[in-house]
Amino acid sequence: MGIPLTTLEEHPRVDLTIDGADEVSPYLDLIKGRGGALLREKIVASASEREVIVVDESKLTSVLGRGALPVEVVPFGWKSHLPFLRDLGAEVVLRLTPQGAPFLTDQGNLILDCTFPGGINVPQEIAAALDARAGIVEHGLFLGLATDVVAAGPQGVRHYRRRPHGGRAW
């Protein structure tokens, strides 16, 4: 189609990224990474001027954490994260392949799927705790990165834009 391909090394700023999400809050905060590529997806999202998320309306939620929050960890000492994550309120399961082996990310890391009964009420606090922990490479909380969300449902397509100062989009 004549579309040139490049890398982030050659062009470290991206004008527009169009991607999906596993969950979207009214503040356009996201949970992503249930497919296993959360580190690379967050790098691209962080390099993007506009991050447009396209979902079906079943992904819209009033509180993040209806499903698992992926947490990517280095294999060395991965079990040391279990008590820490449980102290944050998570039920933790090591992600496995259909064959029963540990799932490995593109970077060769493991994913711990963390379920928070009742949801994640203050995602910024969970994100900050995860960001501060050595050995946790990345997590699926994409906070403040989406500029737009396009959601399709039986009533049609709705377009939400990030509000100034973090206000609700719907």
Active site residues: 41
* Tokens standing for residue 149: 């969300």
Q: Which residues contact 62 (CB under 8 A, 6 or more apart)?
A: 25, 26
Amino acid symbol at 33: G
Closest by CA to 24, choosing from 44, 2, 51, 4, is 51
- Per DSSP, helices labelled H in the chain are 38-46, 81-87, 123-131
Is there a contact between 39 and 47 (Cβ–Cβ < 8 Å)? no
